[in-house]
Amino acid sequence: QEGPGEQVERTLVLVKPDGVARGLVGEVLRRVEAKGYRLVALDLRTPTRDLLSRHYAEHEGKPFYEPLVAFMSSGPVVAAVVEGQRCVEGFRSLAGATEPTTAAPGTIRGDLGRDWGLAVQQNLVHGSDSPGSADRELALWFPSL
């Protein structure tokens, strides 16, 4: 399936602490693999505030920043390096819109996300939002790769 339009990319996928706590790791990875993407690396860990401050540097100063870092460091997440044709944009499609309430049915957030009415959206997954972000985030989460 290679050709002139080949655009194999890597993206960082995180199953956030709510997804791990709710036992949805397998369901998220199932959707990633069913789409035809390949798992390159997989790790269960509780991220440090230092890693998260670099990961979420673009959101520093926003009202949801502190609650976001607190939430993301509250327990284990699954970090995955995912590879495939246009998988950066593709995983964003699988994940759906940020808000679980309005995310489309058929997406991870639309099908499985719950709106808890909290200060931060606990929306199950993260996916890099561009190939440039993916390179930056993969270097933070998987420096040896």
| The only residue of 37, 52, 121, 138 in contact with ligand RTP, by rule CB under 6 A | 121
Q: Choose the catalytic residue: 79, 103, 126, 141.
A: 126
Stretch that binds ligand RTP, among 29-37, 76-84, 115-123, 137-145 (CB under 6 A): 115-123
For the chain, list the strands marked E by DSSP. Answer: 8-15, 38-45, 77-85, 125-127
Task: Tell which positions 113-132 bind Mg ion, by CB under 5 A.
Answer: 129
Sequence letter at residue 107? T
Was 30 annotated as part of a binding site? Answer: no
The DSSP 8-state label assigned to residue 59 in this structure reads G
Query: Considering the rule CB under 6 A, would residue 140 count as an interface residue with ligand RTP?
Result: no
Q: Tokens at residue 10, please? A: 């890597």
Q: What DSSP string runs through 89-104?
A: HHHHHHH--SSTTTSP
Of the two residues 83 and 129, which places its CB atom closer to Mg ion in the complex? 129
Contact of 43 with 78, CB cutoff 8 Å: yes
Residue of 73, 76, 105, 102 lying closest to 15 (CA atoms): 76
Was 123 annotated as part of a binding site? Answer: yes
C-alpha to C-alpha distance for 131 and 138, rounded to whole angstroms = 10
Was 98 annotated as part of a binding site? Answer: yes
Task: Tell which positions 83-102 bind ligand RTP, by CB under 6 A.
Answer: 98
| The only residue of 68, 79, 81, 87 in contact with ligand RTP, by rule CB under 6 A | 68
Judge whether 126 counts as a catalytic residue: yes
| The only residue of 126, 137, 138, 141 in contact with ligand RTP, by rule CB under 6 A | 126
Sequence letter at residue 53? S
**Residues placed in the known binding site for ATP:** 16, 64, 92, 98, 109, 123
Active site amino acids: 126
